[in-house]
Amino acid sequence: MSIAIRKPAKGRTPSNLWRHIFAWVLIVFALFPIVVVVSSSLSKSGALSTGSLWPSKVSFNNYLMLFTDSSIPFGRWMLNTVLIAGINAVISVLIGMFAAYAFSRLRYRGRKQSLQALFLIQVFPSFLALAAIYVIFERLYKLYPVIGLGSLGGLLLVYLGGSMGGSAWLLKGFLDTIPMELDEAAKIDGASPSQIFWQIFLPLTVPILVVSTLLSFIGTFNEFVLASIFLQDVNTRTVAVGLQSFVGGTFGANWGPFAAGSVVAAIPLVTLFLSLQKYIVSGVTAGSVKG
Amino acid sequence: MKPSTIASFAKVSLLAIASAVLVWMGFVAVLASDWIIAITLGLILVFANWVYFSKKSVAGKFLFPGSVLLVIFVVVPIIYTAWMSVYNYKTGNEITKDQAITQLHQVGLVPDESGTTYDMVLGKYAGKDAVLLTDQATHAVAVGTADNFLPLPEGTFTTNAQKVATTADGFTTATPAQVADASSWLTSFVVPQGSGKFVSPQGADVAALMFEKFTFNADNSVIEDSLSGTTYVDNGNGNFVSKTDSKNVLYPGWRQLSPTENYVGLLTDPKLSGPFVGVFIWTIAFAFISVLMMWALGLVLAIALDKKMRFRGLYRALLILPYAMPSFMSILIWGGIFNADYGALNNLLNIHVDWLNDVWLARLVILIVNLWLGFPYFYLISTGALQALPTDIEEAAEIDGATGSQIFWRIKLPLIFQILSPLLIASFAFNFNNFNLVYLLTKGGPVDVLNGQTAGATDLLITYAYKTAFGSNEQNLGLACAISVIMFVIVGVLSMWSLRRSRVLEEM
């Protein structure tokens, strides 16, 4: 490890070799499951043959099955997931942005206390309150089936409940870096707080809003527990619940369609992530560098 | 129109739509006489209009939508959880005491000792739903309504060849269509005969004389079994128990307020505290080792790639792939890789190791998979921290004669640790509650079911609480809520402490 902090040598010296070797070892580790899932999706049986990482005969059967087998409404699952994760991401980032603006720019009584309370509430493993959530939504179902137990609308409401705790912190951190002089100048020009928000802050924060929306989208995409309790009907499932149902029970039989479904669902997300990599990385590291 | 006019027009229309929806929802709730929901909606309506039309509360305008959702769907469930944790709320003790007593009356329904049964004809008597009953043994005839049992004297009814009464004075026999519809009232229809006996329909044309063997005495909260003469008393813990034989318990019981039972039980009842302490230790060890491993690997990687070198961009893109993949998917894929029968690892190496069914192997697998999931994030934040280090300290240390390894271990590492400590603590808290990883990979197993164990070798507190509350066997919601509260306290204290340490609060 001591090599690491030697003064950087000029040009290509042997000291670079260990860096390359180390990186490649980790790349193999990082790529192994990805290669496995891609190759399984292309293998007819869905299982890997002994001693080989690549199927001897490439078959697209598993992919065909996803979109033709009527017992696997995979397209429906994708649609459900995109709808619920998309709507949730947009609304919750907007709500988070409202809250972040109030926390960062407005001075009001009980501000510090409300921030601390929000911080604590956020820490509670909320899905352990499942029993209570279940009771509430069973009751709502009797009156308004659209947002009751078993509906995507109800699940959306549960997710939105956490929206203020979710993105508000990241956004507040960003808003704090915008100089105060900006809003003071606007105030002198006679702008109201809501004008400052809509016409100055919102346009300024577009990049971080995009990152927050994407992170929220990925978060919802990955959410499994609430979705699996909420959505029992096969047609209302999200991708996470649907794919888990392939391999959650008796393993093996459905490994092929699971692998194919994973590849189809992961490609758009990973592409999006990698293309916005620069912004996400700066968002993620912002916390550490601020210290 | 001026922008401000458009804005206020948009505001008023949005509020109008929201109010209309709230009023409609409130109307539905009032119709169903669900007052809690109706009052909640009314309060939201009043507050929303007050906040957005008042000139005073500027902050309220921005915080209102998020706060309402937060309170209803997060804070209320948390309070409910804490409240449930002080109840003896488990399988067999799920309902209220009144509901339990009603159900016990039904459990205590036994056929009359003489086994009296009736042929039954449905119809109306004095405008009410009624049945015409013929005792199958004595052929005595009576009319029964929900209020009373009225024996009919000979000559006021007509019988068929089987001596079953078919019509009677004042009794209108139901048409076949009415009989088909009768199930709506027949299911809850009984004819009281006095002294705890009543006639209960057993289908559309037969009824039986039933007898309620339990009588509840509300004055001293005691249930008497009039058949065996046993007296059952309230044991103060949600059940009626025989006065003489403590093993003779009546079910269902009810949820009983018992403020300390769940918490004390976790520490003292060997059946509960054994698994709890084991799971607790593993949870802490898992979270600690995970963070340490991820950070070590991420930091070394960050140091290795901290220098301009060929392919660095490519390496970086490949190395953050695990972070870009949807994590639930990666976990399921790893679960497949480590599967004993079909798994890629066993197939590739041509071995047969049952990775997930051995206590220590399963724990190792969990840690390896978590390392895979987490090291790219730590690589990213360590890179950020390395770049944030002041450059002059290295030179100053060199002038003072420090060696390369001294500079790293004594100066750089402590500085990086200081910079990253809030994120390390956040990561610890996240892994402390890493439900998805354990649930999707091992379901907490392996569990030594044969030895009566309830917790698995890889169970974290959160998966253990989940199993306790919603598991397939015996469910104990009260206990699960108590575990949740304990976890909340641990993670909450830890987070508050780190928040204070990082002085974020002062900056607020």
Q: Which ipTM did the prediction report? A: 0.85
pLDDT at position B163 is: 83
Q: What is the distance in angstroms between the Cα of B308 and the nearest Cα belonging to chain A?
A: 9
pLDDT at position A10 is: 47
**Mean pLDDT computed over A190-219:** 85
Contacts of B69 in chain A (CB under 8 A): 95, 157, 160-161, 163-164
Q: Residue A244: name the closest of A8, A51, A77, A15 by CA.
A: A77
**Mean pLDDT computed over A72-82:** 90
Which residues 160-189 of A are in CB contact (within 8 Å) with B? 160-165, 168, 176
Contacts of B422 in chain A (CB under 8 A): 287
Note whether A98 contacts B350, CB cutoff 8 Å.
no
- pLDDT, one tens digit per residue, over B373-405 is 999 999 988 888 888 788 788 788 888 888 878
pLDDT bin (cut points 50, 70, 90) of residue B93 is confident
Note whether A162 contacts B74, CB cutoff 8 Å.
yes
In A, minimum Cα distance to B347 occurs at: A50
**Measured between alpha carbons, how far is residue B297 from residues A132, A234, B290, B415 in Å?**
40, 41, 11, 17
pLDDT bin (cut points 50, 70, 90) of residue A32 is very high
Least confident of A139-148, B16-25, B215-224, B324-333: B215-224
Mutant choice from A26, A141, A177 vs B, greatest count of B C-beta within 10 A:
A26
Sequence-distant (≥ 6) Cβ neighbours of residue B459 within 8 angstroms: B279, B282, B438, B444, B467
Q: Is the dihedral of CA B71, B76, B77, B81 positive or negative?
A: positive
Q: Is the dihedral of CA B272, B278, B280, B282 positive or negative?
A: negative
> For residue B403, which phi and psi values (nearest 5 degrees)?
-85, 170
Residue with tokens 């949870």: B283
- pLDDT, one tens digit per residue, over A94-114 is 999 999 888 888 888 888 888
Cβ atoms of residues B481 and B82 within 8 Å: yes
pLDDT at position A151 is: 85
pTM, to two decimals: 0.78
State how far the Cα of B3 lies from the Cα of B52, in Å rounded to an integer: 18
Mean pLDDT, rounded, of chain B: 84
pLDDT bin (cut points 50, 70, 90) of residue B500 is confident
- CB nearest to B326's CB, from A119, A131, A222: A222
- pLDDT, one tens digit per residue, over A226-274 is 888 888 788 888 998 888 888 766 445 578 888 899 999 999 889 888 8
Q: Tell me, yes or no, if A10 comes closer than 8 A to chain B by beta carbon.
A: no
- pLDDT, one tens digit per residue, over B168-187 is 888 888 888 888 887 777 77
Which residues 434-473 of B are in CB contact (within 8 Å) with A? 435-436, 439-440, 462, 465-466, 469-470
Cβ atoms of residues A1 and B408 within 8 Å: yes
State how far the Cα of A255 lies from the Cα of A245, in Å rounded to an integer: 11
Note whether B311 contacts A20, CB cutoff 8 Å.
yes
β-strand pairing of B206-212 with B117-125: antiparallel
Higher pLDDT, B220 or A272: A272
Q: Would you say residue B476 has pLDDT above 70?
A: yes
Q: Would you say residue A290 has pLDDT above 60?
A: no
Strands (E), B378-433: none
How many residues are recorded in chain A?
Answer: 291
Sheet (strand B231-234) strand order: B214-217, B222-225, B231-234, B240-242, B249-250
Q: What is the distance in angstroms between the Cα of B116 and the nearest Cα belonging to chain A?
A: 41
**Mean pLDDT computed over B426-441:** 88
The CA-to-CA distance between both ends of chain B, in Å, stands at 39
pLDDT at position B53 is: 85
Where helices occur in B95-253 by DSSP H, the ranges are 97-107, 176-181, 183-186
Sequence-distant (≥ 6) Cβ neighbours of residue B149 within 8 angstroms: B142, B191, B192, B193, B194, B198, B199
pLDDT at position B284 is: 93
Whole-number percent of chain A with pLDDT over 70 = 85
